[in-house]
Structure 1
Amino acid sequence: MTDLVPPPSTSGKTLMERVEDALLPLINLVFLLLMFFIVAGQLADDPLPELPAAAQARDQQSPHADLIVNAEGDWRVAGEILEEDSLLSHLPEPTDKQPLRIGADETITMADLETLLRLLEEGGYEDVLLLTEPGA
């Protein structure tokens, strides 16, 4: 009895040699894509320029904080400088849902910050959130 489908012609190559021959174009394609992305990445090395409107908006934006402490140790609530005896009356009531947000200048000393935190603790604030800016 004869086979209906003739066996594939191997032209004398083993199965591994035929697989290697079939993979060679794929390897070449991957290599060319790799070279393309290496060259394209080096051409666009500079970051995109910042848009003027975005720079102005960032400069005008201040942190949304309930209390702001600057480098001189002044305590500001809604733009008004307050003293130790009137600070607690101008702050929002302490709640469990929303912690008090404090924006502190990067040059403030730990002693000034500790004085403020002790005053807030005496006023009933158990949770505070210290806002920081990422370093440049």
Structure 2
Amino acid sequence: MRRASSRREPTIALINVVFLMLVFFMVAGTIAPPLSREVALVRADEMEGRAPPDALVIFADGRMEFRGRQVASAAAYLGGLTEAERQAVRLVPDRDLPAARLVALAAEMRAAGAGAVMIVTERGLR
């Protein structure tokens, strides 16, 4: 006579893992003290944004501008920076600038001696 083998349901292990994760996040979430009810946070949804003063602005048509002056090329832009400023270069691209142009410009910056190329973007919290 053959004994019927019992197979465990695989979802039981999944339920156990999910339950343990739930308990972990409940405990971890209570570690941080809540903000005081008397504190009113700053509202930034209507603030006027502008490019950082040390960033290269790139327009949709590919023109580049730094501190209000036109820049001819990536090499010309980097030529006017100090060695310390070249370590972290910030680019502010127009949202309509083609991505291929932005990637090519970042590659030009790296080839011309830029340490890190950072792209400054708008952050939406809505």
Question: How far apart, CA to CA, are the structure 2 residues paired with 1:113 and 1:123?
Answer: 15
Question: How far apart, CA to CA, are the structure 2 residues paired with 1:106 and 1:97?
Answer: 24
SS of equivalent residue, structure 1 residue 95: helix
In the alignment, what sits opposite 1:31?
Answer: none
Structure 1 residue 88: deviation in Å? Answer: 2.4
Question: How far apart, CA to CA, are the structure 2 residues paired with 1:81 and 1:121?
Answer: 20
Structure 1 residue 94: deviation in Å? Answer: 4.3
**Structure 1 vs Structure 2: percent identity of aligned residues?**
20
In the alignment, what sits opposite 2:118?
Answer: 129
Q: How many residues align?
A: 81
Give the TM-score normalised by structure 1.
0.48
Structure 1 residue 98: deviation in Å? Answer: 5.5
Distance 1:88 1:82, change over 3 A: same
Distance 1:113 1:94, change over 3 A: farther
Give the TM-score normalised by structure 2.
0.52
Distance 1:125 1:94, change over 3 A: farther
In the alignment, what sits opposite 2:57?
Answer: 68
Superposed CA offset, 1:30-61 (max 9, x none): xxxxxxxxxxxxxxxxxxxx8xxx94xx33x4
SS of equivalent residue, structure 2 residue 79: helix
Superposed CA offset, 1:2-35 (max 9, x none): xxxxxxxxxxxxxxxxxxxxxxxxxxxxxxxxxx
Q: Is the 8 A contact 1:94 1:124 kept in 2?
A: no
Question: How far apart, CA to CA, are the structure 2 residues paired with 1:79 and 1:118?
Answer: 23
Identify, as 1 or 2, the structure richer in helix: 1
Q: Is the 8 A contact 1:94 1:125 kept in 2?
A: no
Question: How far apart, CA to CA, are the structure 1 residues paired with 2:92 and 2:50?
Answer: 9
Question: How far apart, CA to CA, are the structure 2 residues paired with 1:109 and 1:100?
Answer: 20
Equivalent of 2:82, from 82, 93, 96?
Answer: 93
Q: Is the 8 A contact 2:64 2:70 kept in 1?
A: yes
Question: How far apart, CA to CA, are the structure 2 residues paired with 1:99 and 1:66?
Answer: 10
Distance 1:97 1:123, change over 3 A: closer
Unaligned 5+ runs, structure 2: 1-42
